[in-house]
């Protein structure tokens, strides 16, 4: 059993998978820019969670409590399917403990705001998307440490797993409740301001990820991407793609309509990479962060690219069928409305007296008098 006092072999530069990433670990920890990067990660996470809270309406929460389909789908997708998928991929590609923990952390994270934006672009169910993202974030407070503890058992004899800071993970997750609650309050008191904050949070998500990717690559060296093992790249590509497929299959099992299937698919495959990055940066030692930090950024890159292809395919091939379905619903509604108006007109004319009839009735007494 590896001693907890010694850093794992991967952190010292050894190991076939993930070890090559750790070469810049010391540099990453020693750079003064690292502290500023931590602040950026924390602020980006707060803005994201604030935007998520601003997208939640109390009325929607009440409806979901009465019929918690979104809550159940978030539970099955984010804390059953995705952690198991991350665990299996780590085993299949024989990752070492450092890379495996990074993959598990990403797989156990709740849904991210990217799915809300993509759901709009594929004409999905926005209420379902927001509820799944919010509920998975709240469930992560308890289920994410549990999933990490369960699936890290395979690497239990390694120092990095023995030092896995589950308490710090829970603390980081708990700190997200404050901006979420503040966002819900802003939505309740100031809806227009909440709409603006939602847009700001989506843009901050994009800007933060780009800045993190550039700064991390700069701090760890320009040849960092070339040093990343092919297995890590393969998992970063396959994991979101498999998540989209699992989500669509899960929604199909629940016999949901097509627009809800697209929503659940995106919600399952899109992880909150900002939360994963924050946990890696704020809870692990600098000796380990060099080898683990890039995976959520790579995951964000490929999950965005694959979601973009999803949207492009829908715009090219699926939107016509959606318009036909919507048009059919509108025609049915229009026909029903016309039929209802005709029936109302018939009911109104039955048994009524016209002006001519009324005049004739008034004329008859006059003729009789003459």
Partner residues linked to 111 by β-bridges: 271
CA dist., res. 24 & res. 324, Å (int): 55
Asked if residue 353 belongs to a domain, the reply is no
- Whether 31 is covered by a domain: the verdict is no
Q: Which of 32-41, 53-62, 188-197 has the highest mean pLDDT?
A: 188-197
Angstrom distance (rounded) from CA 295 to CA 320: 37
Number of domains in the chain: 1
CA distance 239 to 113: 18
Share of the chain above pLDDT 70, in %: 65
The phi, psi pair for 31, rounded to 5°, reads -65, 140
Q: Each residue of 306-358: pLDDT tens digit?
A: 988 888 888 888 765 555 555 444 444 444 444 445 555 555 444 444 444 44
d(CA 335, CA 46): 49
pLDDT digits (tens, 9 = 90+) for 209-255: 777 767 666 665 556 666 778 898 899 999 999 999 999 999 999 99
pTM of the model: 0.71
Report yes or no on 8 lying in a domain: no
Tokens of 59: 């009325």
Please tell me the predicted confidence (pLDDT) of residue 33.
Answer: 56
pLDDT at site 203: 78
pLDDT at residue 361, rounded to an integer? 44
- pLDDT for 103 equals 92
pLDDT confidence of residue 54: 82
**pLDDT at res. 242:** 95
pLDDT of amino acid 35: 64
Mean pLDDT confidence for 279-308: 78
Distance between CA 297 and CA 308 in Å, rounded?
A: 16
In a domain, 348, yes or no: no
> Which of 2-6, 32-36, 200-204 is least confident?
2-6
What is residue 108's predicted lDDT score, i.e. its pLDDT? 92
Residue 350: CB atoms within 10 Å: 7
Q: For residue 200, give its domain range.
A: 42-316
- Percent share of the chain, pLDDT over 90: 17
Distance CA 126, CA 115 (A): 10
pLDDT one-digit tens code per residue, 153-189: 888 777 677 667 676 677 777 777 788 888 888 888 8
Alpha-carbon span 8 to 249, nearest angstrom = 39
272: left (phi over 0), alpha (psi -120 to 50) or beta: beta
Q: Roughly how many angstroms between the first and final C-alpha of the chain, as a whole number? A: 125
Asked whether the beta carbons of 276 and 45 are under 8 A apart, the reply is no
d(CA 128, CA 123): 12
What's the pLDDT score for residue 36?
64
User: Among 44-53, 192-201, 282-291, which range has the highest average pLDDT?
Assistant: 192-201
CA distances from 137 to 97, 128, 177, 207, 309 (A): 26, 14, 9, 22, 26
Q: Over 70: is that where the pLDDT of 135 sits?
A: yes
Of 70-74, 138-142, 170-174, the range with the lowest mean pLDDT is 170-174
Kindly state whether residue 351 falls inside one of the protein's structural domains: no
Q: What is the CATH number of the domain that holds 94?
A: 1.20.1530.20
Considering the domain boundaries, does residue 312 fall inside one?
Answer: yes
Beta carbons within 8 Å of 70's beta carbon, 6+ residues apart: 64, 128, 131, 132, 135
- pLDDT of 362 strictly over 70: no
Q: How far apart are CA 149 and CA 160, in angstroms?
A: 13
CA dist list (Å): 334 to 93, 339, 342, 346, 348: 57, 9, 12, 18, 21
Report pLDDT for 222: 56
Indicate the helix (H) or strand (E) that contains 78: none
The helix (run of H) or strand (run of E) holding residue 40 is helix 33-54
What radius of gyration do the chain's Cα atoms show?
28
In a domain, residue 349? The reply is no
On whether residue 160 sits in a domain, the answer given is yes
């Amino acid at each position: 059993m590896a001693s907890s006092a010694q850093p794992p072999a991967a952190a010292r530069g050894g190991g076939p998978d993930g070890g090559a990433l750790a070469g810049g670990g010391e540099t990453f920890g020693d750079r003064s820019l690292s502290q500023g990067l931590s602040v950026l990660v924390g602020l980006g996470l707060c803005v994201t969670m604030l935007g998520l809270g601003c997208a939640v309406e109390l009325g929607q929460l009440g409806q979901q409590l009465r019929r918690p389909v979104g809550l159940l789908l978030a539970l099955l997708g984010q804390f059953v399917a995705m952690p198991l998928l991350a665990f299996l991929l780590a085993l299949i590609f024989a990752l070492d403990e450092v890379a495996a923990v990074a993959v598990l952390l990403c797989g156990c994270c709740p849904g991210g705001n990217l799915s809300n934006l993509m759901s709009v672009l594929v004409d999905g169910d926005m209420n379902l998307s927001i509820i799944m993202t919010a509920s998975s974030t709240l469930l992560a407070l308890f289920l994410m440490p549990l999933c990490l503890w369960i699936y890290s058992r395979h690497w239990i004899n390694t120092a990095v797993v023995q030092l896995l800071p589950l308490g710090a993970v829970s603390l980081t997750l708990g700190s997200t409740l404050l901006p979420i609650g503040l966002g819900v309050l802003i939505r309740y008191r100031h809806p227009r301001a909440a709409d603006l904050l939602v847009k700001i949070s989506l843009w901050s998500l994009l800007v933060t990820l780009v800045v993190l990717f550039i700064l991390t690559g700069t701090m760890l060296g320009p040849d960092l991407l070339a040093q990343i093992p092919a297995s890590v790249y393969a998992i970063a590509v396959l994991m979101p793609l498999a998540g989209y497929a699992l989500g669509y299959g899960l929604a199909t099992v629940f016999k949901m309509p097509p627009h809800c299937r697209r929503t659940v698919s995106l919600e399952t495959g899109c992880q909150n990479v900002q939360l994963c990055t924050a946990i890696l940066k704020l809870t692990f030692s600098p000796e380990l962060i060099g080898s683990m930090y890039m995976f959520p950024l790579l995951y964000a890159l490929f999950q965005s690219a694959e979601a973009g292809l999803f949207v492009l395919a829908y715009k090219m091939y699926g939107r016509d069928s959606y318009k036909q379905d919507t048009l059919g619903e509108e025609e049915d509604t229009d026909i029903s409305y016309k039929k209802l108006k005709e029936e109302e007109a018939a009911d109104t004319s039955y048994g009524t007296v016209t002006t001519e009839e009324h005049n004739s009735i008034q004329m008859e007494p006059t003729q009789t008098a003459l």
